A and B are shown apart, each in its own frame.
Chain A
């Protein structure tokens, strides 16, 4: 099993829709999780950190399910500008080296 798995998508949704992505991880000892956003040909940028059960920031909500070992990212009222690839990151191993998922592509259309 890969350490961090994401559905590559693309998720193709209309403006205003609510969309959710999941990210599963294998290291049950992980304590913190991150979602990054990466635009085409740009660097990843931190979107949200998740240190407990979840986190909310405006239209974005991240939730953690430790029992099933996945985190989710919910985007409400999608905007055209939300179109990007969303990367899940889980610190893994004894030294908590960040392990990246391969990303989920989101396309928001008019």
Chain B
């Protein structure tokens, strides 16, 4: 079974802090994704990566950056946390896209609160 592990289930930070959310997958997947999920808005794609050191902006990249130095690890960075970034953050991985698309496997999620 694919295992996607997010570093924290719950996290509380203060406004203005730099916040790191880590995600590791163990299935050698090329693609990794970061989403946030808010009530009534569904899952919104922040960034994704299709290879080491490669990244693409999703629908809502503002206020976030990412890092992928190793294939198995994809980090989401909140440069200066703000209260409107309080949300559930979900990491996912998949085999290469293209052709028919591929299903994603999700981590347990991180509930981030910015005070």
A contact set with B: CB distance below 8 Å: 30-32, 34, 41-46, 49, 51, 87, 89, 91, 95-98, 100-103
Contacts and interface: CB of A to CB of B under 8 A. Distances in A.
Which applies to chain B's interface (DSSP): helix, strand, loop or mixed? loop
Contacts of A46: 103-105
Contacts of B99: 31, 96
Given A87-B43, A102-B42, A44 B106 contact: yes
Contacts of A41: 88
Interface of B: 33, 40-43, 45, 48, 56, 58, 88, 90, 94, 97-109
Contacts of A102: 40-42
B35 to A, nearest CB: 8
Contacts of A51: 100
Given A43-B108, A91-B97, A95-B97, A34 B45 contact: no
A1 to B, nearest CB: 16
Given A43-B106, A45-B106, A96 B97 contact: yes
A100 B103 contact: no
Nearest to A45: B106
15 contacts: A31-B99, A31-B100, A31-B101, A32-B101, A41-B88, A43-B107, A44-B90, A46-B105, A87-B42, A89-B103, A95-B97, A96-B101, A97-B97, A98-B33, A100-B43
A72 B55 CA distance: 33
A100 B44 CA distance: 8
A100 B48 CA distance: 14
Nearest to B96: A96
Nearest to A92: B101
Contacts of B106: 43-45
